[in-house]
């Protein structure tokens, strides 16, 4: 099981949208996918039509009480499961803030689970902050996938993410974590700014930048309010086409078979 954290400390860049929709298309392609919602706002949980208050989050596991195996729940899509989030996760910042071993609190249980997990990929939807939850996710992941909105401030956020990742490597908890790729999101082809940001990211990050660019799309914004991924809500939309292409590119990068 490959653990991929979708992370950017800047909010509103498409982390949750990418986590659930990439997960949906990977599942359609025959990959067994588990999404871990690590954001107390539980947006990924609600997008996948689950009530956060009716399910158990990974909160207790991070406190050393219980393991991961009983947490995944089925979604409406075959091959796609979820470890939901709820408001309990907001307490992690207080509970583990002074714990000198906090970076291992997610790393250890997920490493133990990898040996028995019936999944090909675990996608972690991280919260938009540089707090305990995000750093724990970076310390637990094999790879980091960074969504970057096609706006100037997102370039600053990308630089900070690289710096944070270097700090995580330096702790020794997870020295092998790498950047899997950069996904440009919310692209508006009508503006010069979008083109400038895409060009700048590709110049700075080279092959780490995905060829697929996710457009700004109304259907992508509407789908979560219906408790659906874009695959379920508007499979013929431009947003759906983009995430289908992103899935195929992701699988190519990982040496897996590409969906038809």
Per residue in 121-131, pLDDT (tens digit) is 999 999 988 88
57-to-15, 69, 88 alpha-carbon distances in Å:
19, 12, 8
Per residue in 73-100, pLDDT (tens digit) is 999 999 999 999 999 999 998 898 788 8
pTM for the full predicted model: 0.94
Bigger pLDDT: 199 vs 155: 199
What pLDDT, on a 0 to 100 scale, did the predictor assign at position 260?
Answer: 41
Buried b (16+ CB within 10 A) or exposed e, 56-68: ebbbebbeeeeeb
Nearest partner of 101 among 90, 91, 109, 112, judged by Cα: 109
Mapped onto helix, strand or coil, the DSSP state of residue 17 is: helix
What pLDDT, on a 0 to 100 scale, did the predictor assign at position 130?
Answer: 81
Residue 6, strand partner residues? 125, 145
Per residue in 110-147, pLDDT (tens digit) is 999 998 999 999 999 999 888 899 999 999 999 999 99
Residue 5, strand partner residues? 124, 144
Q: What tokens were used for 15?
A: 């982390």
The percent of residues above 90 in pLDDT, for the chain, comes to: 75
Contact indicator for 137, 7 with CB cutoff of 8 Å: yes
User: What is the DSSP annotation of 32-91?
Assistant: -EEEEE--TT-HHHHHTT--GGGS--SHHHHTTSS-STT--EE-SSTTEEEE---GGGGG
Q: Give the domains, in start order, of the chain with CATH numbers.
A: 2-253 (3.40.50.300)
What pLDDT, on a 0 to 100 scale, did the predictor assign at position 36?
Answer: 98
Per residue in 15-34, pLDDT (tens digit) is 999 999 999 999 999 999 99
> How sure is the predictor about 106, in pLDDT bands with cuts at 50, 70 and 90?
very high
106-to-61, 67, 219 alpha-carbon distances in Å:
8, 10, 34
Collect all residues with Cβ–Cβ distance below 8 Å to 23 and sequence separation of at least 6: 33, 35, 80, 121, 123, 229
Per residue in 179-230, pLDDT (tens digit) is 999 999 999 878 888 899 899 999 989 999 999 999 999 999 999 999 999 9
């Amino acid at each position: 099981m490959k653990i991929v954290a979708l992370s950017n400390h800047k909010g509103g860049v498409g982390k949750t949208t990418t986590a659930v929709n990439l997960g949906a298309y990977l599942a359609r392609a025959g990959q067994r996918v588990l999404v871990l919602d690590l954001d107390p706002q539980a947006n990924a949980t609600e997008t996948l039509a689950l009530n956060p208050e009716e399910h158990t989050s990974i909160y207790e596991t991070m406190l050393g009480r219980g393991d991961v195996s009983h947490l995944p729940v089925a979604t409406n899509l075959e091959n796609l499961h979820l470890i939901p989030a709820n408001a309990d996760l907001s307490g992690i910042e207080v509970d583990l803030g002074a714990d000198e071993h906090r970076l291992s609190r997610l790393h250890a249980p997920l490493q133990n689970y990898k040996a028995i997990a019936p999944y090909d990929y675990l996608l972690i939807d991280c919260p938009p902050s540089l707090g305990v939850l995000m750093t724990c996710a970076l310390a637990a992941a094999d790879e980091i996938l960074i969504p970057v909105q096609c706006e100037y401030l997102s370039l600053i956020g990308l630089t900070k993410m690289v710096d944070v990742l270097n700090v995580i490597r330096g702790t020794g908890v997870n020295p092998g974590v790498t950047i899997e790729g950069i996904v440009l999101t919310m692209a508006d082809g009508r503006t010069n700014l979008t083109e400038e940001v895409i060009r700048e990211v590709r110049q700075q990050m080279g092959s780490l930048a995905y060829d697929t660019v996710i457009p700004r799309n109304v259907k992508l914004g509407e789908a979560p309010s219906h408790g659906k991924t874009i695959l379920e809500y508007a499979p013929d939309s431009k947003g759906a086409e983009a995430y289908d292409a992103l899935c195929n590119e992701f699988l190519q990068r990982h040496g897996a078979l590409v969906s038809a």
